[in-house]
Chain A
């Protein structure tokens, strides 16, 4: 099956610093990628839709200046959590669309802000 690689799988950072998470589609091109955040005991919350070559579309309530998304190529989207705070600690997951139909997920990134 299609492979989406997310890196890093775990990261611990100090409060106030920035963290970049990468999402790569390894064997297909993805013009659209999604970034999700999972809260404990809750479903995945869509944060933003990332489109190659254009600005990301953010969901209501998601701060675009805090969660910077860049989709520079057809195989790579990055999410940068800027000026991270402990409340940003969560599990972040990306997914990439293949042929605009099936979505394949990365393995997720556990972010802990201390």
Chain B
């Protein structure tokens, strides 16, 4: 049973435009969410996080939005750059962070 879902396996965006990656979860006990970025043949790297006490967290070109009532979070990248092309995973945790549940990833391609 997939508790964290990323329903779009891939996304293509023109350079300079906004990329929006979406993530849905089913467990209302999740209170900490993260986005990871993964290049081919490399381990995922942490990108940005948000706790359930917030509905927005911004770090440079990356902004994560959390809608608790809809159990939905999204990652906005603006402006998108070709180097952003990677697989993006969202993850959720329900306690102190002792277990993370990952989505299946969305492959983002930024077209120059």
Nearest residue in A to B36 (C-beta to C-beta)? A105
Chain B CB within 10 Å, residue with most, of A34, A43, A102: A43
Nearest residue in B to A103 (C-beta to C-beta)? B100
Q: For chain A, what secondary structure do more than half of its interface residues adopt (helix, strand, loop), or is it mixed?
A: strand
Q: Is B22 an interface residue (CB 8 A)?
A: no
Chain A proximity of B94: nearest CB distance (Å): 13
Q: Is A7 an interface residue (CB 8 A)?
A: no
B interface residues, tally (CB under 8 Å): 21
Q: Is A97 an interface residue (CB 8 A)?
A: yes
Q: Is A102 a contact of B36 with CB atoms below 8 Å?
A: no
A interface residues, tally (CB under 8 Å): 23
Residues of A within 8 Å of B104, CB to CB, are: 42-43
Q: Is A113 an interface residue (CB 8 A)?
A: no
Residues of A within 8 Å of B42, CB to CB, are: 107-108
Residues of A within 8 Å of B102, CB to CB, are: 43-44, 46
Within residues 82 to 112 of chain B, which ones have a CB less than 8 A from any CB in chain A?
A: 89, 91, 96-100, 102-105
Q: Is B32 a contact of A101 with CB atoms below 8 Å?
A: yes
Q: Is A61 an interface residue (CB 8 A)?
A: no
